[in-house]
Each structure stands twice: as structure tokens, then as C-alpha cells.
């Protein structure tokens, strides 16, 4: 699980075929403190299992499915990527809950300045439109952003100078492809409303109940 607050940029140093997919060697632009073999790292919003870690580099295997359904398939040696290590329970949740499982790819429809900010408009697959709401959260290449406006097949975000400077979003142009992950909470709510299942037995929680179970 991630927050969508990118910790820094990485650079693809090697890309080689591996079992139908590829193995990427990524150099991190920040120190990987206490690296753990097999930990999860989000690369442009895609959760990958890191191996052969050092304080600056790691490798990750990318499956054919992930290559097909995300922008990782277009990465080349020298490509810049957004990096975020997995959330710890002691960390601040400054963005929103991001799983690292890309829902779709989208294209940049518009990029224009808006004062000190940059306004982007992206395409959106219509079946995902119900999960995108005005002032809600969305992850673009792993970056947690607030939706300015949305329709059934597009949405826009306004990006502050700091975010633009510290992520790969600065290099986006019209027609470029990005990874999109909609807010996972909306998916769970929708499923529970569609398939409510068996209702739990009613329970009265009062001072007697709390005392009996050791809370008082």
C-alpha cells in the first residue's frame, strides 16, 4: 500500500528480457534506507517487488500482463520514473490510499498554464468514470492528485509547482500516456452496496458491554 506521495525520481539503468516479461534495473535518486529484499516499491504507480537492493539501486521483474496494462512497457534505458516505497503504519498518510494496481492507461488531452499552476486534462475509460468525483483523489503515475473536474470520459487536475518539479509529470506533453489508479475505496463501497450479503447480528455496545470485554 502506498500514499501517492512520490519520494523521488529514479532512472532505468537496464532493461532485459526475462521469461516473457522484462527485468528492470532502477537507480534511485534518493537513499534507500534499510532496504529489504522483496519489499514493494511503486514505479510510476505500479507496485513491483524489489530484489538485489542496495542503498541506491534495485531490480524488479515486470510480467507480460503488467507491461501490457501499464506504461512500464514503454520504459527504456534512461527513462525517468516516480518512486515510492511502501507505506508503514507509523507514516503519515499525506496523500490517499494507493494500491499500486493500475486500472487503466490514459492520454494527456491538454496541458496549459493556469497562473503558477499547470492544468492537465486526461482521457478516462468510461467504465471508470463512476469512481472519479470532483475534489476526490486519483493517482497519476503514482502521484496522488485532487480532481478539479470530471466527466464520463475525461478529468482534469491542477498541479502545483512543487509536484511538477519533483515528479515525472513535468515532462508530460499532449498525447503522452500515463498510469491511472482510481480511488479503491469507491470500488469497495460499490461492491458492498451491490452484494450486501448476510447482515451481522445486531449488537448493543454500552458501558456494560465494554466493561465485560475489558475496555473499562
Nearest to 129 by CA among 104, 149, 154: 154
Q: What pLDDT, on the 0 to 100 scale, is given for residue 201? A: 59
In the chain, the percentage of residues whose pLDDT exceeds 90 is 81
Cβ partners under 8 Å of residue 93, min gap 6: 3, 87
Parse the chain into domains and list their residue ranges: 8-85, 104-194
pLDDT of 202 strictly over 70: no
Q: What is the predicted pLDDT for the residue at 199?
A: 63
**Which grid cell is 43?**
514505479
Q: Which three cell numbers stand for residue 88?
A: 508503514
What are the residue ranges of helices labelled H in 167-204?
Answer: 184-194
In this prediction, residue 94 carries a pLDDT of: 85
Given a cut of 70, is residue 215 above it in pLDDT?
no
Q: Note whether 8-85 and 104-194 share their fold.
A: yes
Q: Give yes or no for residue 26 having a pLDDT over 90.
A: yes
Q: Mind listing the pLDDT tens digit for each residue in 100-157? A: 999 999 999 999 999 999 999 999 999 999 999 999 999 999 999 999 999 999 999 9
Collapsing DSSP states into helix, strand and coil, what is residue 191? helix
* Distances 116 to 81, 110, 149, 154, 187 between C-alpha atoms, Å: 24, 17, 19, 23, 34
Fold assignment, 8-85: Elongation Factor Tu (Ef-tu); domain 3 (2.40.30)
Q: What is the mean pLDDT of the chain?
A: 93
Angle at 7 between CA 5 and CA 11, to 5 degrees: 125
Residues 69, 86: Cα–Cα separation, whole Å: 21
Give percent of the chain with pLDDT exceeding 70.
Answer: 93
Cβ proximity of 192 and 185 under 8 Å: no
The predicted model scores a pTM of 0.88
Q: What is the pLDDT of residue 166?
A: 96
Classified by CATH at the fold level, domain 104-194 comes out as: Elongation Factor Tu (Ef-tu); domain 3 (2.40.30)
Separation CA 34–CA 168 (nearest Å): 25
DSSP string for residues in 150-165 = E-SSEEEEEE-HHHHH
Amino acid at each position: 500500500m502506498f500514499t501517492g506521495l512520490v519520494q523521488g525520481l529514479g532512472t532505468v539503468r537496464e532493461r532485459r528480457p526475462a521469461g516473457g516479461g522484462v527485468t528492470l534495473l532502477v537507480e534511485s535518486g534518493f537513499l534507500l534506507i534499510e532496504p529489504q529484499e522483496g519489499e514493494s516499491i511503486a514505479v510510476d504507480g505500479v507496485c513491483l517487488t524489489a530484489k538485489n537492493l542496495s542503498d541506491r539501486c534495485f531490480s524488479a521483474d515486470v510480467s507480460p500482463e503488467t507491461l501490457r496494462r501499464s506504461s512500464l512497457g514503454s520504459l527504456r534505458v534512461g527513462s525517468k520514473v516516480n518512486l515510492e516505497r511502501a507505506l508503514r503504519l507509523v507514516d503519515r498518510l499525506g496523500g490517499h490510499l494507493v494500491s499500486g494496481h493500475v486500472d487503466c492507461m490514459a492520454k494527456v488531452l491538454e496541458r496549459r498554464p493556469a497562473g503558477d499552476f499547470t492544468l492537465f486534462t486526461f482521457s478516462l475509460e468510461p467504465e471508470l468514470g463512476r469512481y472519479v468525483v470532483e475534489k476526490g483523489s486519483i493517482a497519476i503515475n503514482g502521484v496522488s492528485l485532487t480532481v478539479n473536474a470530471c466527466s464520463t470520459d475525461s478529468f482534469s487536475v491542477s498541479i502545483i509547482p512543487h509536484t511538477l518539479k519533483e515528479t515525472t509529470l513535468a515532462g508530460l506533453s499532449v498525447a503522452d500516456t500515463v498510469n491511472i489508479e482510481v480511488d479503491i475505496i469507491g470500488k469497495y463501497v460499490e461492491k458492498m452496496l451491490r452484494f450486501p450479503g448476510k447482515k451481522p447480528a445486531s449488537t448493543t455496545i454500552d458501558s456494560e458491554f465494554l466493561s465485560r470485554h475489558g475496555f473499562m
